[in-house]
A and B are shown apart, each in its own frame.
Chain A
Amino acid sequence: MTNSIADIHLADVLMITGSNTTEAHPVISLEMKKAVRQYGAKLILVDPREIELAEFATLHLRPRSGTDVALYNAMAHVILENNLANDEFIKTRTENFDAFKEAVKDCTPQWGEDITGIPAEMIVEAAHMYSQARSASIFWAMGITQSSHGVDNVQSLANLALLTGNFGRPGTGLNPLRGQNNVQGACDMGGLPNVITGYQTVIDEAVRTKFENAWGTSVKIPDKPGLTVTELMQGIHDGRVKALYIMGENPMLSDPNINHVAEALSEIEFLVSQDIFLNETGQMAHVVLPGVSFAEKEGTYTNTERRVQLVRPALPIRGDAKLDLDIICDLGKRLTKSNGKTSNDVIHQITDWNYKDASAVWDEIASLTPIVAGMSYQRLNPNGLQWPCPTADHPGTPILHKEKFTRGLGKFTPLVFREPAENPDEEYPFVLNTGRLLQHWHGGTLTRRSEGLDWVVPEGEIQINNEDAQEMNVTDGDLIRVTSRRGVVTGKAKLTSKLPRGMIFMTFHFVEVPANKLTGAAVDPIAKIPEYKVSAVKVERV
């Protein structure tokens, strides 16, 4: 998020797109509802489904799946056509405006209606509402990013914010809602193939040298980005990837197209799973290493507003399990020793894999990472700090891009609308959409072990529009079979008027009804995020 949870209620207009916030980020949805009910903000909701937030929406736009760019290009067209843009902001803080203007020249509201199915008047109204607000903020989640052109989707939203100058003030900005508790941190810490900590790129020689020296490595950090998850799975298939070390993840359930993943993991030469449960991935592993839960460890998580917060141990370690940090340090020692270096080798200048505790690891991170350089455990206690926080006396940054953008000027991106990789057709006439439920979490490893939560929602259901169901003679609880070009899943039907006709909705929390057997292998060419929200399927009564 460019902005903070604490300033959500200060927006005049909120535009929420591709986020069922009530279910996926419940406590943030409270702030959004407060903005509407208590502070009189207007809410533009963009979602094909009639989700709970629709009750709070001033305008509910229900686009055909996968047509986001067309909607936002059309809104930009209206804003420009009616002189509703923030000219001063465009002039002083942005670049590439002319190319962008040219790109949306023909994106009339009618053009938008033809592609998205949203009435042209509603597109016009949304454009007025968003651009006329004193402060307007945009929120999105996986509905925007899990697309074969997720990067375009995000850029089309950024264009709107640039056009109207909605940056750098409370209640504005671009606010992606991060899914899992520490996605932000995993990315910040170099858990990506192209960047080390704080988004320092591996392409940059100075960056590589800095880390090589600090770490005292005997190997060179490669100057090319590595493989993404999806590419790693493909690499196993192709025989290029021979070993995988997986910590705290279950790609068997969370990857698109799990048949493909299961095949890959069964072929791999060496697989290690470090986890607190023996999950589907662990069952295929050669070695399983028992780590500990958040309640037994010390460390930090970084939330969706870039706030680094402390995790504190509350319980003793169970059985012969080990702190995950200790497991990794143990591995580090064994690997470097076998590399021919002893533990008192001067090459390992900083720590030599002997860290006193988690705060010592943090101090090493801070020493190598400008965006968190000013943070220490002492300062993070009790309320955490939001990065960037470059120095020990810096108060942290609740709002990004105040005076200027990180890259200097904000850049408009001219975009051409492209259809999703797989649209419904005669053979597969339905669109499959996937998402989360409030009561369960991701692959279900944690929540499905909570008796209370599993009792409320014990089964994965397949949601289908009432009228579609009636036509097929299906009623609540009937078994239906959903087939895509990649797999088949059978489950109980749940009729609902909240889905548009022609759409099927499933969650990915349940092993018994694994939606990801059906989803596509198409991925965004840049972000490499798979298309989860649009897969063509057919539906039959069993």
Chain B
Amino acid sequence: MAYEEPITDYDEIVENCTCAFCGCNCDDLDYLVKDGHVVGVRHACRLGASKIMEDMDQRLIVPMVRDDNGELKEVDWDTALDKAAEYIANSIRPVMYGWSETSTECMKEGLALGEYIGAVLDNQATICHGPSLQAVQNAGYPIQTLGEVQNRADVCVYSGSNAMNSHPRHLARYSVFCRGFFRSRGRFDRTVVTMDPKFTDTAKMSDKWIGFEQNGDYGFYNAIRAVLKGKELSQDVISGIPKEDIYELVEEMKNAEFGVLFFGLGLTHTLSKQRNIDIAIKMVQDLNKFSKWGLTPMRGHFNVNGFNIFMAFETGFPFGVDFARGYARYVLGETNTIDLLTRGEPDVFLVIAADPGAHFPNKANQHLAKIPVIQIDIHWGPSTELADVVLPGSFIGVECGGTSYRMDGVLIFMKKAIDKPETCRDDEWIVRELKERVMKLRKEPNVAPEYIPNPAAQ
């Protein structure tokens, strides 16, 4: 890439802002602001910088509703909100999906609305780390914070995650290159192992690359566990890896002073899904007999973890929570967005701060083409092509403050740096307005019928 002049033409610097992109939530960014726009970002990676200096061509500025010809038409806020509220109030099986790129404050309003009308609330975990959450319920959650990793870890394992592409500053800020209290030489004090079928950019800068074969993760982790338990491996090659290499790796992992396993979608999206994570968690538990080990899922969006923590706190379940019966239910494969859509159940779909058009499989999106879709977002994306009502929100961490949870569960407040476009509204305000309007249209909340015990059975 050609050399580029640094940005010198700016009015002010806003310091210590938080990046609203990936689960690293880097909170050391400086924005260079000119005429109310961010024209440069210091310290962010390519991903963060490009999101913060957004594409104004495609910014959603005004509320829009589809007319009879199927064209989006600019309307005023009242019309758009009333239309959206009408869709929601008249629905039988509404789904409210997204939430991962908005603040926890907004989720609170969303939950109140969802509970009132008996909706399904789900977030992006359903298509990324859902299996990890299920595995956590099956096998436990030996987690540590990223601060501990920075100060203590001497072995970092990246499995099924290409951090250099998806979380570019993760290695620099939290795990590998950074210096820590017990790791004063940074990179030189740490061993990096990458497990991935592909020779990814992360693998290229690791000390060791384990290129197990496609869908071979489950067998590979089982082999490690067997060796950890003192068993001999009877096959010479397991999941494409010679057994000598597995012995060597296990020795290295046992001798770590503080090891961490970071795992990504490479594990959750392959055939054995949550079973892959089950076995990875159990491997970490086994390793703790010899040394100190922990793990962290590499969460994608900056607040995808926030929704899971928030929902688990409020309802007991992390995602895919169904209020249709008047109380919270969570049934895997039943109350999750993709399953609901492929079965053709929902009759209204509210998408907030997410992009199903870009991320759902064809068959799920086919159903979105048949039902009204309400979109609350900041950019014109593939979902806008399917949306019937579009409500322009504001950009958390840049135009509006809010709380979010980092991938390790640490709470971070993201502050406001510039003003939002005049015609946009805060996500929290939009959802609250929707709630109030829906409550006017549907007087009774959705509650479970009263439980009357059968006296004869007492």
- Note whether A and B form a binding pair: no
Question: B residues engaging A (CB < 8 A)?
Answer: none
Question: A residues engaging B (CB < 8 A)?
Answer: none
